[in-house]
Amino acid sequence: QVTLKESGPGILQPSQTLSLTCTFSGFSLSTYGMGVGWIRQPSGKGLEWLANIWWDDDKYYNPSLKNRLTISKDTSNNQAFLKITNVDTADTATYYCARSIVLPTLDYWGQGVMVTVSS
Amino acid sequence: IQMTQSPSLLSASVGDRVTLSCKAGQNINNYLAWYQQKLGEAPKLLIYNANSLQTGIPSRFSGSGSGTDFTLTISSLQPEDVATYFCQQYNSWNTFGAGTKLELK
């Protein structure tokens, strides 16, 4: 059974760095073709893809945010991470992690974690 | 690549055949997926590669199209299909459309 769960700080101040963790089970990021993606959704709005990391450590970033994003993984502990630097109120959203297999479609999603940026 | 979904809001009756549109700003081949998001839930993958049904998804859902024009069809609308539907292109990076909200008439 594949499950993913996001965790994060809940609230942080502008200019800080947002650190998110995705803890998953039912698959391994060391298995050929496996990947984890991060997606966010401001309340009442659409989805924005942020980044993907693959089993071979290939990484892909949304070009509009690339300078602020860092994705990484800990294969031994079944975790993936996303850092966003220099946050501001526009980064307030629900952040999801999701699994990909070979294609960057997202077949299993976490429940999402709400992040609020406020002074 | 910009993805344009239409309509933004669609009202239909139970049993109706429903068609949702997604247009890409350039050729994305068949690299298109459809997701369903119910209120308060994470999105769910319905269709990938434009017309392949994800495992466990009811057969009333189908996808079609290629190049720049794509369609998600629900052959007979059920009450549990009330949701917002998003398309995603993955030919070049990843981009989602703004969504179509489907409600019951």
How do residues B15-50 score in pLDDT, each as one tens digit? 999 999 999 999 999 999 999 999 999 999 999 999
At residue B54 the predicted structure's pLDDT band, cuts being 50, 70 and 90, is: very high
pLDDT in the model for residue A111:
98
The answer to whether B93 contacts A49, with C-beta atoms less than 8 Å apart, is yes
The answer to whether B95 contacts A106, with C-beta atoms less than 8 Å apart, is no
Mean of pLDDT values over B1-14: 97
Return the exposure string of B74-88: e unless at least 16 CB atoms fall within 10 Å of the residue's CB, then b.
Answer: beebeeebebbbbbb
- State whether residue A102 sits within 8 Å of chain B by CB: no
- For residues A2 and B45, what is the distance between their CA atoms, to the nearest angstrom? 14
The answer to whether A46 contacts B44, with C-beta atoms less than 8 Å apart, is no
Q: Give the count of beta carbons closer than 10 Å to the beta carbon of residue A49.
A: 22
- State whether residue A106 sits within 8 Å of chain B by CB: yes
Q: Which of A106, A108, A111, A114 to mutate to test the interface with B (most CBs of B within 10 A)?
A: A106
Local mean pLDDT, 10-residue blocks, chain A (119 residues): 97 98 97 97 96 96 94 98 98 98 94 97
What integer best gives the mean pLDDT of chain B?
97
Residues from chain B that touch A49, judged by Cβ atoms under 8 A, are 88, 93-96
- State whether residue A109 sits within 8 Å of chain B by CB: yes
| Beta carbons of A60 and A51 less than 8 angstroms apart | yes
- For residues A30 and A9, what is the distance between their CA atoms, to the nearest angstrom? 27
Residue A38's nearest CA partner among A18, A11, A16, A15 is: A18
Residues from chain A that touch B39, judged by Cβ atoms under 8 A, are none
| Minimum Cα–Cα distance from B33: chain A residue | A105
